[in-house]
Amino acid sequence: MSPKNDKRPSYSQIETGSERSRPLLHQNAREIQPYGKIAKLPIALDEKVCAESAENLNQILADTITIRDLYKKHHWQVAGHTFYQLHLLFDKHYGEQNELVDTIAERIQSLGAISLAMAPDIAETTSIPRPPRGREEVPVQLSRLLEAHEIILKEARTMARLADEGGDDGTNDLLVSEIIRTNELQVWFLAEHLVDVPVVRADETKSAAAAR
């Protein structure tokens, strides 16, 4: 085809008129709200109450993200004859903790504060000890999860009382109705796997000794 008959637009013609539709890349600016500062919202709560609740909830958020990821680690690495049951249970608990993560973060934002989000910030804030990278035996995995749950439950009970004293009913309800109840239920499901009972045949000797 000769250049005279070529109807294709030139590059300059293609670019003309497209300026407004181009992505504006590599943008930088100051934060619109620094972490630790409150943007007061009309929720009928004192700013100091909002700040205290947000600080407490960010601690709970960091620990909830940590136990959530601990569940996923054990979900991948569990081994032994209970693999199938625990593989599914760990993933179920992971999903429930993940829902809590979103709920806690949204409550922090609704208080006019900023929620933690990035992994380095979570690692610096969490109270839950970091596990080894390698695979551990099932009883150790279960014990590690139970200890993490207990850390969360202890701080959640204290924070619920503080929220109640400050008149922050929304935070108190979140801590009691969702965080405490979810973690207590998960503790029950985990702890039952550490009861030392026979799988197939009852041990009559142990049963008789226990009855004395």
* Separation between Cα atoms, residue 155 and residue 200, nearest integer Å: 40
Is residue 38 included in any domain, yes or no?
Answer: no
Is residue 167 included in any domain, yes or no?
Answer: yes
Is residue 181 included in any domain, yes or no?
Answer: yes
By residue count, the chain amounts to 212
Q: Which tens digits make up the pLDDT trace of 96-129?
A: 999 999 999 999 999 999 999 999 999 999 999 9
The confidence score (pLDDT) of residue 208 equals: 64
CATH number, residue 168: 1.20.1260.10
Is residue 211 included in any domain, yes or no?
Answer: no
Distances (CA, A) of 169 to 1, 36, 103: 76, 21, 15
Q: What is the domain extent for residue 184?
A: 45-194
Is residue 21 included in any domain, yes or no?
Answer: no
- In the chain, how many domains are there? 1
The confidence score (pLDDT) of residue 205 equals: 72
Give 209's contacts (C-beta < 8 A, 6+ positions apart). none
* Separation between Cα atoms, residue 113 and residue 111, nearest integer Å: 6
Q: Is residue 1 pLDDT above 60, yes or no?
A: no
Residue with tokens 């150790």: 140
* Separation between Cα atoms, residue 62 and residue 64, nearest integer Å: 6
* Dihedral Cα 180, 67, 100, 116, nearest 10 deg: 120
Q: Is residue 162 pLDDT above 80, yes or no?
A: yes
**pTM over the 0.85 mark:** yes
User: For residue 101, what are its two tokens?
Assistant: 């993560």
Residue with tokens 């029950």: 188
Three-class SS string for 4-45? Answer: HHCCCCCHHHHHCCCHHHCCCCCCCCCCCCCCCCCCCCCCCC
* Separation between Cα atoms, residue 179 and residue 63, nearest integer Å: 11
Q: What is the mean pLDDT of the chain?
A: 92
Is residue 73 included in any domain, yes or no?
Answer: yes
Q: Is residue 15 pLDDT above 70, yes or no?
A: no
Q: Which tens digits make up the pLDDT trace of 20-51?
A: 788 989 999 999 999 999 999 999 999 999 99
Is residue 142 included in any domain, yes or no?
Answer: yes
Is residue 33 included in any domain, yes or no?
Answer: no
Q: Is residue 92 pLDDT above 90, yes or no?
A: yes
